[in-house]
Amino acid sequence: MVGLCDCNNFFVSCERLFRPDLNGRPVVVLSNNDGCIVARSNEVKALGIKMGTPLFQVKELVDNHNITVFSSNYQLYGDISKRVMSILRDYLPSIEVYSIDEAFLDYRGFDKERILPHARALSKYIFKATGIPVSIGVAPTKTLAKIASKLCKKYPKLEGACFMYREEDIIKVLKKTPINDIWGIGRKYSKMLLQYSVNSAFDFYKKPVSWVEKMMGICGVRTWKELHSIPSISYDDQLLDKQSICVSRSFTSEIYSYDELSEALSNFASTAAVKLRKQNSCTSEITTFILTNYHKASAPQRLVSDVQKLEVATDSTLEIVEIVHKSLSRLFMKGYGFKKGGVIFRDIINKRSVQQSFFDTVDREKHQKLMSAVDAINSKDGRNMVMPASASNNLHISRNHLSPLYTTSWDSILEIEV
């Protein structure tokens, strides 16, 4: 059996954790640059506001219903996520972290009689220890576990956990599950399946596997098997290293200055380099890109990128920032207002596999010691406590509704009057 632990309305729950006055009140969390709604409380969902809706489109609803708005506080959410995942690791043989608010759970070898009590106790303990409500679904496959976890959110009587394994129970649930709610069936396939009167998960379940293979290929067959309780998506408790890393942002307003754009890209490069070192990897291909605001049709448009192949793969922030600066000098043109920029790492390999060059002029041992020291300081004293002089925290990004860091900054610790 495999389980799925899903943190309920995770970003909203993290904000409410330190603002209990918001419990039972409508709350939304916005995407980067305060653009779109990426998390909604149940009260907001009841108002009909959809995920991904731009904030400006529902400004009247926000004002009329006194909806509390937060900018994304990923440093806070990441720290709370680590606490939840740590508890899961203590209570199960292994877990597979799927996203910041989801993890698959290894229930293989558990007696069926033990699974539901264990899952309910775990759900209650996570809430008690972290303040984050979670839904745990357990089933024979990952796809069914996803469906089971959603049932917990709909039905509080399940007490935070649902164990779904009997065929008659699975069929009953599949009949009530819309086709577009199935994990692995995206918008494109949902639209196609609806044309063939496949409206529910059970309609898909009933289709011959030959038809599914013809219409959807091996991925569709895999989902079909999963709904038939045949495990077809492997369980992996090892986090896979990223094969590409991208850090990019849209700016609040257009940037016309080379120096300002250089500062922003230095910050992106530095952030990406930290991610690279965290997985003990190096990159040998660095892409730098900038683009103008395509929504302003009357303004001059430019979308350009520069790719640099490295003879020796690196994880050094100093080396990477220098490469990004050289790329930007080739891309930048006066008279254009750049709205977005970013850095992409590709050809990522494990640090132990880096092929050295006889003609290499970089003192890599010195860079490695320096980066280790910088990472240690930033880990202890706060993100970007030490950063390249060319970088800047002033990234022209709107975060007008940002909450305190609470758990990762001494300056943000709650003060209580007694």
pLDDT digits (tens, 9 = 90+) for 75-84: 899 999 999 9
366 and 265 in a common domain: yes
Helices and strands (H, E) in the chain, number of each type: 13, 12
Cβ-based neighbours of 243, under 8 Å, separated by 6 or more = 346, 348
Residue 42 belongs to a domain: yes
Give the side-chain half-sphere CA count within 13 A for 402.
14
142 and 3 in a common domain: yes
Q: Are strands 134-139 and 161-163 parallel, antiparallel or unpaired?
A: parallel
The pLDDT, as a whole number, for residue 383 is 67
Domain that holds residue 134: 1-165
Residue 222 belongs to a domain: yes
Residue 398 belongs to a domain: no
What is the average pLDDT across 334-351? Answer: 91
372 and 264 in a common domain: yes
Structure tokens at 288: 């730098």
42 and 115 in a common domain: yes
218 and 154 in a common domain: no
286 and 235 in a common domain: no
pTM of the model: 0.72
Cβ-based neighbours of 205, under 8 Å, separated by 6 or more = 171, 174, 224, 227, 228
Residue 414 belongs to a domain: no
Asked whether residue 239 carries a pLDDT value surpassing 60, the answer given is no
Strand pairing partners for 250? 340
Q: Are strands 102-106 and 134-139 parallel, antiparallel or unpaired?
A: unpaired
CATH, residue 109: 3.30.70.270
Residue 389 belongs to a domain: no
150 and 12 in a common domain: yes
290 and 192 in a common domain: no
* Chain mean pLDDT for the chain: 89
What is the average pLDDT across 224-248? Answer: 81
Confidence of residue 236 (pLDDT cuts 50, 70, 90): low
Residue 330 belongs to a domain: yes
The pLDDT, as a whole number, for residue 211 is 92
Residue 284 belongs to a domain: yes
d(CA 287, CA 265): 11
**Number of structural domains, the chain?**
3
Residue 298 belongs to a domain: yes
